[in-house]
Structure formats: structure tokens, C-alpha cells
Amino acid sequence: MPGKRGPNYPAFGLGEAILKAQKLYEQDGTARTAPDVAIQAWGYTTLNGTSLRVIAALRQYGLLESAEDAIKLSDRALAIILASPDKAKAIHEAANAPAVFGLIKQEFSDGLPSDAAIVSTLVRKYGFQASAAGRCVASFRETIELEKATVDSDIDVRWETSQPPAPRRDAALDRQPERQGATRVMLQWLLADDGVATLTVNKRLAPADIDALKAYLDIVKQQVMLTKTFPPTPQDSPAEP
């Protein structure tokens, strides 16, 4: 006997849902749009199982509203993709909107176990098929990581307009001792458009430090993906000398 379908769950994490909401905004703005037209923003040409799952996921996060035979972006979606002052609140609400995510948090209120343990609970207790439970847990993990990065983290990605320092092209790694005898590690590497990144650490790097820095950069990447940037307006441009 085939397993029960189980509760509905979003087919992907909140980060991807926000990116799809942004593509719909770029195509149709805030207008009501027929579903068969809206899906063109995501590269689909027909309403089928795959494209309908995208619509369903955005609805579960509260990023889409339905009106008769049309859909439109919700105020929550607009707050996120247009970077309003309520963006963090909107992301928090979207991350907690899918009912199945609340169910998982309730089941494991003392702390989340491994993915395998969550999948097992969804299959045994809530009638999920194993493959569906695995996809649900993947969406859940991606979403709570994004929520943590955006709402709980004090990392704030800002685009600076000041002139960056000239890149150091003569070295990729420069180690200099501090006056007190400590080791300072300076890493520099070139970015696109003659940009330069510099990382200075006041100790010798250990493998665990590299893992911590990678996790930090993953958070920054999430923030950058959700930051809508615009070219500076003429009045913001520096005056000619």
C-alpha cells in the first residue's frame, strides 16, 4: 500500500521563494496576474505539477495572494524584495508561515535532532512518504538558516560608494608579527572590477577557524542575495572637482 501524502509543505526554502517573488515583481510588478502568465517569470510555459508547486510554495510562505482567477504579490513579499523597514519582520513571518514547519518545531521544542530523525518522525507520525519528508526537511533547514542569518544575526551588508584602496597585486598572503609577538595573518585577494578583499586575523588559523569563516561568508552571501541594489542617483554621485 502506498504511503499517505502527508501534510502540505513548500517545495523549496524561503530564500528561493524570495528570489522567485522578485522575478515575478520584475515581470508584473504589483498587478494581479493570471497564473499561466505569472509562471513565465520563472521560465515555465504551462501550468503543470512543477509550476503549480512553485505557486503553492510562495502561497505557503505568504508571498502570494489569490484574487479570483489571478495571483499577486503580498505585502509581505513586497516588504522583503523592496527592502522596507519591515523586511526582517516579514522574513520572520514568512519563515514561520508553513504549518508543517510549526509542526516540526513543536515536535522538537527542546532542540532539533538530525535530519534523519525528523524524517523518521514525519513518516511514522504524520504519514509522509520518505522522499517527501526528506524534501520537506531540506526546505525547513534552508528556511531557518535564512531566518537566523537575516533576523538574529547582527551582520549588515551595506554597499559603500567610497573609493576602495588600491589592490595589492604583489602578494596573496602577507604575515606580519604584532609588536607583542602575536601572529597576524592578512589575506588579500582580487575581486571583479578591480575590487580587493582583505581579511586580517590576530592568530594563526586553525581548521576550525576556516569553518567558522566559511559559515560567516555563507551568511553574508544570503544577505547579498536578498539585498536589492540600485545605481546611485545623480544627486548621490560625488561632485566633480
Measured CA to CA, the distance from residue 213 to residue 89 in angstroms comes to 27
Query: Is the distance from CB of 171 to CB of 188 less than 8 angstroms?
Result: yes
Report residue 133: phi and psi, to 5°: -60, -40
Measured CA to CA, the distance from residue 192 to residue 210 in angstroms comes to 23
Query: Is the distance from CB of 13 to CB of 94 less than 8 angstroms?
Result: no
CA 134 to chain centre: 20
For the residues 16-20, what does the mean pLDDT come to? 97
Q: What is the DSSP string of 17-64?
A: HHHHHHHHHHHHTTS-B-HHHHGGGGT--S--HHHHHHHHHHHHTT-E
CA 63 to chain centre: 14
pLDDT(2) > 70: no
Measured CA to CA, the distance from residue 200 to residue 191 in angstroms comes to 17
Quick: pLDDT tens for 135-182: 999 999 999 999 988 855 444 443 333 334 444 444 444 444 444 444
80 compared with 189, residue with greater pLDDT: 80
For the residues 223-228, what does the mean pLDDT come to? 59
For the residues 56-80, what does the mean pLDDT come to? 95
Give the single-character DSSP code of 8: -
Q: Which of 230, 220, 226 lies closest to 88, judged by CA?
A: 226
pLDDT, residue 173, reads 42
Measured CA to CA, the distance from residue 237 to residue 225 in angstroms comes to 25
C-alpha cell recorded at residue 223: 544577505
Q: Distances in Å between the alpha carbon of 199 and those of 92, 190, 195, 213? A: 31, 12, 14, 10
Number of Cβ within a 10 Å radius of residue 11: 20
